[in-house]
Chain A
Amino acid sequence: MSLKQESKITQGTVLILLIGKFKGKRVVFLKKLSSGLLLVTGPYNVNGVPLTRIKRKYVIATKTKVDLENLEIPEEINDKFFSPKKPINNWEKTEEKFFTKKQDLKNVGLNETQTKLQNQVDKPINEAIKKIQYLKEYLTARFKLQKGQLPHKMKF
């Protein structure tokens, strides 16, 4: 990765996600984790994107920046915090698991620790978003290519 690219994405830059569940969403960049992945947040109340991490190559960096004034992100939010949970083994064998529908397990939402950290991080970001006109609406709206729009001609 060239130096030019690295300096583009700084704390508070608005990124467009290109892949995954939240593709098209505009999110705020927080920090680069030790694994090299980028830590971002919606914020959660604005567009439903919680604290997540993505690879640099699946993201478009825009010129828009939110002034976060060197926000300190709690050390608890690191790669271990996001490490995938172990898959459910012996799915049919446990009685309880046998009777719960798979649907009920899908969208569990955020658990307690996640919501606590989410609110802690989102609070100053929401305040910073209020200062710029239409920024909240901008973050709520999803990016999409419309008819006649060509990405090689667009300026992000």
Chain B
Amino acid sequence: MSQEQKKEVKPKKVQKKNKKKKQNKAPRLHVDGIFMGYRRGLTTQKTGTSLIKIVGVATRKETEWYLGKKVAYVYNASRHHNGSNVRTIWGKITSSHGNSGIVRAKFKRNLPAIAMGKKVRVMMYPSNI
């Protein structure tokens, strides 16, 4: 290789981590919950009502704050629609269930069984504060 053809050795560019992006990340304004299953007796389940365990809520009294709040089950689909493949099923918390902080919720369309054990977002609205 002739000297003309030799490429200059350039110093490696140090990749700066884009700190600005992290700061402007959308704030989390929901509490995570888990879809435990449907309301049920021992042998039959009523798929119209879902049971949700809200993180950090362990008594019946603590669930009072969450009654009436909106809930969203967020999931991905393979097909893109309106530029996004993220889909939601909305619902709301209707009442408490038992004494240990579990809560009942009704969704616009019943939650699919595949959502059991998956995360659900409990919003802070409609706000009463």
Instruction: Name A145's contact: one of B28, B126, B127 (CB within 8 Å).
Output: B28
Contact digits for A36-62, partner B, Cβ 8 Å, 1 yes 0 no: 000000000000000000001111110
Those of B100-129 within 8 Å (CB) of chain A: 123-129
Main secondary structure of the interface of A (DSSP, over half): loop
Contact digits for B46-89, partner A, Cβ 8 Å, 1 yes 0 no: 00000000011100001011100000000000000000000000
Contacts of B128 in A (CB 8 A): 5
Contact in complex: A58, B125 (CB < 8 Å): yes
A18 and B56 contact, Cβ closer than 8 Å, known pairs A144-B29, A145-B31, A151-B65:
no
User: How many angstroms between the C-alpha atoms of A78 and B30 in the bound complex?
Assistant: 31
Q: Count chain A residues whose beta carbon lies closer than 8 angstroms to a beta carbon of B.
A: 22
Instruction: Name B125's contact: one of A5, A19, A145, A152 (CB within 8 Å).
Output: A19
Contact in complex: A152, B129 (CB < 8 Å): no
Contacts of A57 in B (CB 8 A): 125-127
Contacts of B65 in A (CB 8 A): 151-152
Interface centre among B27, B123, B124, B127 (most CB of A within 10 A): B127
Chain A nearest CB: distance from B115 CB in Å? 22
Interface centre among B26, B28, B62 (most CB of A within 10 A): B28
User: How many angstroms between the C-alpha atoms of A23 and B27 in the bound complex?
Assistant: 8
Contact in complex: B31, A58 (CB < 8 Å): no
Contacts of A61 in B (CB 8 A): 129
Contacts of A99 in B (CB 8 A): none
A144 and B28 contact, Cβ closer than 8 Å, known pairs A150-B56, A151-B65:
yes
Contacts of B56 in A (CB 8 A): 148, 150, 153
Contact in complex: A24, B29 (CB < 8 Å): yes
**Can you list 25 A-B pairs with a CB-CB distance of less than 8 A?**
A18-B29, A18-B123, A18-B124, A18-B125, A23-B26, A23-B29, A24-B26, A24-B29, A56-B127, A57-B125, A57-B127, A60-B129, A61-B129, A143-B27, A143-B29, A144-B27, A144-B28, A145-B29, A145-B30, A145-B31, A146-B28, A150-B55, A151-B31, A151-B124, A156-B129
